Chain A
Amino acid sequence: MIKKRSYFKSRSLPYLLILPQVLITLTFFYWPAVQGVVSSFQLSDPFGLYTKFVWFDNFIALFKDPLYLKSIATTLFFSGSVAFVSITFGLFLATMANRVLKVTTLTRTLLIWPYAIAPAISGILWLFLLHPSYGVVAIFIEDFLGIDWNPLLQSSHAMLMIVMASAWKNVSYNFVFFLAGLQAIPHSLIEAAAMDGASPFRRFWTITFPLLSPTMFFVTVMTIIFSFFESFGIIHAVTQGGPGGSTNILVYKVYQDGFIGLNLGSSSAQSVVLMSLIILITFLQFKYVERKVQYTG
C-alpha cells in the first residue's frame, strides 16, 4: 500500500485553508452573477425605487429585437475571425521561431510584447494607423491603393479594423503557448519521420499538429473567451459599435445599455444570455473537440 506523504490531522484545517479563496469567489463571482440573474427578471429604475418582477419579459423583448439577434451573429463572426487569424498567425510564428535558433530570445521577447498592451491602447494604436481622417496607413491605402477606406461608414472596413486590432494582441499569447507546445515535441519523432521520407508539410500535419492538439484546444477556448469579453476595450476605443451597429458585439451592447443607458433589466438579461452562450460554446468544445485531442505524447 502506498503511504500518504502528508495528511491533515484536523478535518477542519483544509476547509479553513481554502476559505479565503472560496470567500473571494463567492463575493466577486457568484454573488454578482446571482444578482445579475435576479435583475434579468426585473424591470427596475437605476435608483432601485421601482422594481417589478416581470418573468421572462426582458428576454422576450431581446429575442424579438432583430438587432439583438444581429449582435449575436456579429459576435460569433467577430470571435470566429479573431480566433482564426490569431491562431493561424500564432502557430505560423511559433513554427518559425522554433526553427530559427540564433536570435530566439530576442525574437520571442519582441513577439510577446503586444500581449502586454491593454486592449484600449491597442485599439488606439490601430486607430492612429487606420482612422480615415488622421490615420497614416489609411492615407496610404487611399492614395496608393485607390481604395475609399472609411471604417466610419463601411461596416466591413470597421469589422476588419477591430478584428485586426484584437487578433494582433492575441497572436502573442497564442505564440507563447504554441512555442512551448512545439518545444515539448520530441525531436526523435520528427527525425524518424524525416528518415522515412516524409515531407516537411507531412511531418507537420501528421506528427506536430496532433501532438500540438492540447495546446490548440486550450488556445482556441482562451481566444474565444478573450474575443467575447476583453475585446470590449478595443471596440470602445475604435468603433463604439458603429457604423450603424455593425460592430456592436454582445459585451459592448451590455455596457451601452446597462452602464451608459441605465437600462438594468435588459442589460442583465443580455449578460445572462452572454454567460449562457459562453458556457454553451465551452461545453461544446469540451464535448466534441476535446475527444479528438491527444494528451499523451
Chain B
Amino acid sequence: MSKMKCFWLIMAVTMMISFAGSAFAKPIEINWWHAMRGARGETVQKIVDGFNSSQSEYKVIPTYKGEYDEVVNAGVAAVRAGKQPHILQSFEVGTQTMMLSGAIYPVYQLMADKGYKIDWSRYLQPVLSYYMNADGNLMSMPFNSSTPVMYYNVELFKKAGIPMLSKDEPITWDEMGEITAKLVKSGVEGGMVTAWQSWTQVENYSAIQNLPFASKANGYEGLDTELQINNDKVINHIARLKSWMSDNRFYYGGQKYQGPKSEFIAQNAGIYIDSISGIAKLQAAATFDWDVAPLPVESWNKKPQNSIIGGASLWVFKGLPAKDYAGVAAFMNYLSGNGPQILWHKETGYFPITLGAYEQLKEEGYYKENPFQEVGIKQLTRQIPNKNSRGLRLGYFIQIRNIVNEELELVWNDSKTPQQAMDSAVARSNIKLREFERTYK
C-alpha cells in the first residue's frame, strides 16, 4: 500500500468512527458536588457507576469538593457565578440557609414534575422530617443520615460487675450515674465521654425528652424563633454532667469526636456517646469488646421521643437546562432504590432512608449478624416525630452550635453556672436569629 493510500484509509476510518459517535447522542452530564472522602467517596462512586451503567441517557459526575463547609461555599460561589452543579450535598445545619436561598428546585416538586409518584410514607420519617418545609413537603433528598447512640466497653463493664445494656430499652440518666460511679470505683479513669456535645447533650437530649429547642416548633413555623434551651430540664442535665466531673464520672474530651474517641479507645472512659457512623471507626481501632445501646432518657420520661439526625442531604439547584432535570429525577429515584440504599448502609453505616431497604435488610438477617447497626434505627423510629423531635430549622445554626459549645465549655471549666451559661447561650443565639430574620425580610 502506498503512503498516500494508507493516509486516506486512516482518514476514512476516523471519519466513520466520529460519525458513528455522533449518531448516538452524547449522554447528558449531571454534576454532583459532595463531601464524601475516602471509603465513603468510593461508595458514592459505586452508586454512581451503578446508575450510569443502568441507562445511557444521563451520566452523573460526582466531584469531591472538600469538607461540608467547603462544599456549601463552593455551591454559593457557583450559584453567584451562574455555574451551579445540578446536585449539591449540604450538611443538616445548613438546611434553613439552603431552603431560603431561592436557588433550589424542591425535590418533592422535581419528582412530581417528572412523573415519579413516590410514596413518602415508605421513608424513615425522622429522616424526611428534617428536610421538610412547614407544609410537610420534602425540600431535599436525604443522603447520609446518622443519629447519636451510646457505645460501651464490655470488658470494663464485666470487670465492674455491671450487667450488659439492652439494645431496645434505654437506661435512665439516673442509672447512667450509678453505672459511671461503678466504673470509676472499679478503677477506670473516667465514666462517660461525649462527642459533639451540642448535638448529643442539648439538641438530642431535648428531642428525646420532648422539650422544645427553640420556639415556633424549633423554627419550622417562622423565622421569628427564639432558643429555649435555658429551661429547668436542660439546665438540670448540664448541672448533673458538671457534678459528675468532680469524681470523673463525666470527662470532657473536646467539642468534636477525636478527643472523646481516643479516651474510649484508650479505655480511659467506659462509655462514649457519638454518632452511629462511629461504628466503623471503632471496629477499625478498638482492641476490646464493645457494644451499642440507645441514648439514656430521664426517669420521668415514660415515652421517649425519637432522636434527631445529623448528616447531609442532596439539594437540586434550579436554573439549569430543562432537559437535565429528568436525569436528576431519575438519579434521585435510583438513589432511593433498595440496591443503592443497602450498599450505602452496609458500607458506611449511615441509615437506609426507606422502609423497603430496611425491611429487606431485616429479611436478609443483616441485623442478626450486625446488631450494632439496628440500635440507631430503632431509636430513630420508636415514635412518630413531633414538633420537638422532627428536627431543627434555625438560621445561622452553625454559629448557634458554636455558641452552645462555647457556653458549655465555660460550665465545664467553672467560669459559669449552668443557668448563666444557658441564659447567655439563648441571648447570644437570639441576636444571631434576629440578624438572620432581618436578612430575609
Contact = CB atoms under 8 A, between A and B. Distances in A.
A152 B97 CA distance: 31
A49 interface: yes
Contacts of B97: 45-46, 262
A169 interface: no
A260 B259 contact: no
Interface in B387-414: 396, 398-399, 402, 405-407, 409-410, 412-413
B435 A266 contact: yes
Contacts of B101: 45-47, 49
A186 interface: no
A243 interface: yes
Nearest to A257: B399
Interface in B200-249: none
A242 interface: yes
Interface string B68-80: 0100110010011
B438 interface: yes
B252 interface: yes
A198 interface: no
B396 A261 contact: yes
Given A256-B399, A261-B396, A244 B410 contact: yes
A263 B253 contact: no
Contacts of A259: 69, 73
A133 B396 contact: no
A45 B396 contact: no
B190 to A, nearest CB: 11
A27 to B, nearest CB: 16
Contacts of B415: 244
B58 to A, nearest CB: 26
Interface in B168-225: none
Contacts of B259: 131-133, 152
B103 interface: yes
B103 A261 contact: no
A133 B130 CA distance: 35
B318 to A, nearest CB: 12
A153 B398 contact: no
B396 A242 contact: no
Interface string A43-82: 1111111101000000001000101000000000000000
Interface string A252-276: 0000110111110110000000000
Interface size class of B (residues with CB under 8 A): 35 or more
B18 interface: no
B100 to A, nearest CB: 7
B254 interface: yes
A152 B412 CA distance: 10
A129 B36 CA distance: 30
Contacts of B413: 153-155, 243-244
A214 interface: no
Contacts of A46: 72, 76, 97, 101
A242 B268 CA distance: 23
Interface in A106-135: 131-134
B399 A47 contact: no
Interface in A138-165: 152-155
B431 A153 contact: no
A155 B287 CA distance: 34
B102 interface: yes
B19 interface: no
A61 B428 CA distance: 12
Give the one of A52, A152, A243 with max B CB within 10 A: A243
A95 interface: no
B255 interface: yes
Contacts of B137: none
Interface in B251-276: 252-255, 259, 262-263, 266, 268
A133 B76 contact: no
Given A45-B100, A261-B396, A133 B72 contact: no
Contacts of A152: 252-254, 259
B439 interface: yes
B435 A61 contact: yes
Contacts of A44: 439
A98 interface: no
Given A47-B76, A242-B409, A244-B409, A153 B69 contact: no
B183 to A, nearest CB: 18
Contacts of B431: 61, 65
B440 interface: yes
B69 A260 contact: yes
Contacts of B438: 43, 52
Q: Which of A45, A49, A61, A134 has the most CB of B within 10 A?
A: A45
B263 A133 contact: yes
A68 to B, nearest CB: 11
Contact of B255 (A49, A240, A257, A262): A240
Contacts of A265: 435, 439
A233 interface: no
B404 to A, nearest CB: 11
A245 interface: yes
Nearest to B261: A133
A244 B76 CA distance: 30
Interface of B: 69, 72-73, 76, 79-80, 94, 97, 100-103, 252-255, 259, 262-263, 266, 268, 396, 398-399, 402, 405-407, 409-410, 412-413, 415, 428, 431-432, 435, 438-440
Interface of A: 43-50, 52, 61, 65, 67, 131-134, 152-155, 240, 242-245, 256-257, 259-263, 265-266
8 contacts: A45-B97, A46-B97, A46-B101, A152-B259, A153-B252, A261-B399, A263-B399, A265-B435
Nearest 7 CB-CB pairings of A with B: A244-B409, A244-B410, A243-B409, A261-B399, A153-B413, A47-B101, A49-B102
